[in-house]
Amino acid sequence: MKKLALFLALIGIFILLTILNYSSPLPINSSKNISSININQKISLSGKVTSQTSAKLIIDKNLEVYCGCSSKNYLNKNVSILGVMGEYYGEKIINALIIKIN
C-alpha cells in the first residue's frame, strides 16, 4: 500500500511539473496589468532597460523586475524576460527566470 501511495504521489508531481513547464506565459504590456495577475503565474514581457541595480531591472514601461543580475549589464538594451509573479510583504513583484537580449 505504501508503494502505491508513493507511486501515485510521484505521478502527481510529474503531472504538475509538466503543466508548469508547458503552460504559455501571460504577456504583460503595462504596470496596470500587474494587479490582475495571480501569484505564481508565469509571465513574459519585453522592453528597453532604463535602470539597473544589483537586484532589479526597470523596463521602459515602468515595470520593476527582480533578478540576480549583478554580473551582466542590461542597461539601455532591449530584453525579453520570462518570469513569475510573486509577492513580497503583500506587494506583487515580478521575479525573472530567463533574461534574453534582443
Q: CATH for 25-101?
A: 2.40.50.140
Q: pLDDT at position 8, please?
A: 96
Answer yes or no: is pLDDT of 4 > 90. Answer: yes
Average pLDDT over residues 41-48: 90
Answer yes or no: is pLDDT of 19 > 90. Answer: no
Question: In which region does residue 76 sit, left (phi positive, over 0), alpha (psi from -120 to 50) or beta (all else)?
Answer: left
Whose grid coordinates read 505504501?
A: 2
Please, which pLDDT band fits residue 27 given cuts at 50, 70 and 90? confident
Please, which pLDDT band fits residue 78 given cuts at 50, 70 and 90? very high
Task: Name the grid cell of 16.
Answer: 504538475
Please, which pLDDT band fits residue 5 given cuts at 50, 70 and 90? very high
d(CA 29, CA 41): 15
